[in-house]
């Protein structure tokens, strides 16, 4: 079994950046549900290109591409592995021939998939109009988010980005490619700083919000976007808040988000050769600036396990500013800024009680 998985991983590498298409059209009228889409490719589930070439219920016009693939099997993964993969391919073709189906041009399908991802990436970003003021003067633009880096604490004092309902579908998988941020002139924290520390490498901009683009996902793993988080905090209430933000994005379509560690508090500890500060608390500020209902809310949560409901940590943006010493939305018209930041309106930000129970009974115990 280990050998088979090794072969499949090699096939995935050979075929490149394979990913599940964001949408599989329903079966044409008159065609049964069992023959719709590409779901027969369970062996390669989630790898859109492999399914498109070998396992769809289609008569593929890709003989040359298939021959090249078989050649790669022998040249790259060895004779035995090549024979195994070829056997899998033949079974896929036999299934396809027996089940019938309409023809499709694989190249067209792949081009459509790439164009769709580009459309997600090309959604006009406007969060740059709502950036907080940097207290360090080290502002780095990573296209999908912007951060202000604190050399003293070896992490960002804030990161700002936006969520959009059209960017929520998963078009790429999590990479876990943690690496230093070369755009930090003085050098960012390193992966070794966290090794053996007992703290998680906690995302500020969540990887879960970057599934719309491979590049965006990769950039979310830069160490400048990472902060030391208690394991139960990162995998418990912080996760709940990140998922809750995605729920609100589905409901409100678009949100501006600023998040980071509270660096005005004395650090819990310092880790690694770079002396990375372990924050006592983290904050998150949300702004819905789309009419007719403008609203904002803030959160400050201790960097530790919590059994309290998420809404008990909800406060006004003004209160978060007072604690952190930051000015989050300085470019808003003064009258609107004052009104939005002064108070938090509970009824405009509904919380998921079922997710809270899941955190208490499952996530906190992991």
As annotated, the active-site residues are 203
Cβ pair 109, 55 in contact under 8 A: no
Cβ pair 35, 102 in contact under 8 A: no
Q: Helix (H, G, I), strand (E, B), or coil: what is residue 110?
A: helix
Q: How far apart are CA 181 and CA 185, in angstroms?
A: 9
Q: How far apart are CA 270 and CA 74, in angstroms?
A: 51
- The Cβ of residue 126 has, within 10 Å, a number of other Cβ atoms equal to 12
Q: How far apart are CA 276 and CA 31, in angstroms?
A: 59
251-to-244, 245, 304, 348 alpha-carbon distances in Å: 11, 10, 29, 11
DSSP annotation of 337 reads H
DSSP string across 223-282:
GGGEEEE-HHHHTTHHHHHHHHHHHHHHHHSEEEEEEEE-TTSPPSEEETTTTEEE-SEE
Q: How far apart are CA 122 and CA 213, in angstroms?
A: 10
Q: How far apart are CA 1 and CA 4, in angstroms?
A: 5
Gyration radius from the chain CA atoms: 24
């Amino acid at each position: 079994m280990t050998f088979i998985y090794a072969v499949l991983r090699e096939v995935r590498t050979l075929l490149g950046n394979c990913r599940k298409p964001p949408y599989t059209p329903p079966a044409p009228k008159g065609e049964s549900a069992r023959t719709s889409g590409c779901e027969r490719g369970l062996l390669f589930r989630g790898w859109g290109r492999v399914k498109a070439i070998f396992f769809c219920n289609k008569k593929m016009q890709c003989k040359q591409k298939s021959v090249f693939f078989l050649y790669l099997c022998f040249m790259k993964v060895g004779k035995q592995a090549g024979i195994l993969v070829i056997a899998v391919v033949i079974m896929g073709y036999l299934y396809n021939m027996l089940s019938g189906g309409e023809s499709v041009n694989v190249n067209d399908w792949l081009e459509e998939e790439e164009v769709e991802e580009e459309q997600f990436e090309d959604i006009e970003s406007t969060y740059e109009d709502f950036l907080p003021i940097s207290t360090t003067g080290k502002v780095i633009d990573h296209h999908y988010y912007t951060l202000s880096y604190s050399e003293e604490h070896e992490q960002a004092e804030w990161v700002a980005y936006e969520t959009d309902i059209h960017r929520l579908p998963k078009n790429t998988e999590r990479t876990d490619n943690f690496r230093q941020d070369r755009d930090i002139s003085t050098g960012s924290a390193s992966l070794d700083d966290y090794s053996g520390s007992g703290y998680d490498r906690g995302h500020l901009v969540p990887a879960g919000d970057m599934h719309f683009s491979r590049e965006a996902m990769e950039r979310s793993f830069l160490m400048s976007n990472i902060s030391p988080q208690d394991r139960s905090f990162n995998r418990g209430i912080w996760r709940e808040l990140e998922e809750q933000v995605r729920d609100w994005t589905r409901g409100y379509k678009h949100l501006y988000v600023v998040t980071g560690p509270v660096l005005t508090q004395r650090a819990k500890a310092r880790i690694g050769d770079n002396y990375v500060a372990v924050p006592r608390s983290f904050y998150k500020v949300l702004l819905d600036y789309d009419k007719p209902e403008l609203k904002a809310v803030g959160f400050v949560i201790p960097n530790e396990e919590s059994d309290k409901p998420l809404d008990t940590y909800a406060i006004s943006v003004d209160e978060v500013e007072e604690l952190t010493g930051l000015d989050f939305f300085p470019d808003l018209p003064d009258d609107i800024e004052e009104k939005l930041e002064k108070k938090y309106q509970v009824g405009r930000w509904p919380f998921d009680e079922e997710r809270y129970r899941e955190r208490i009974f499952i996530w906190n115990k992991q």
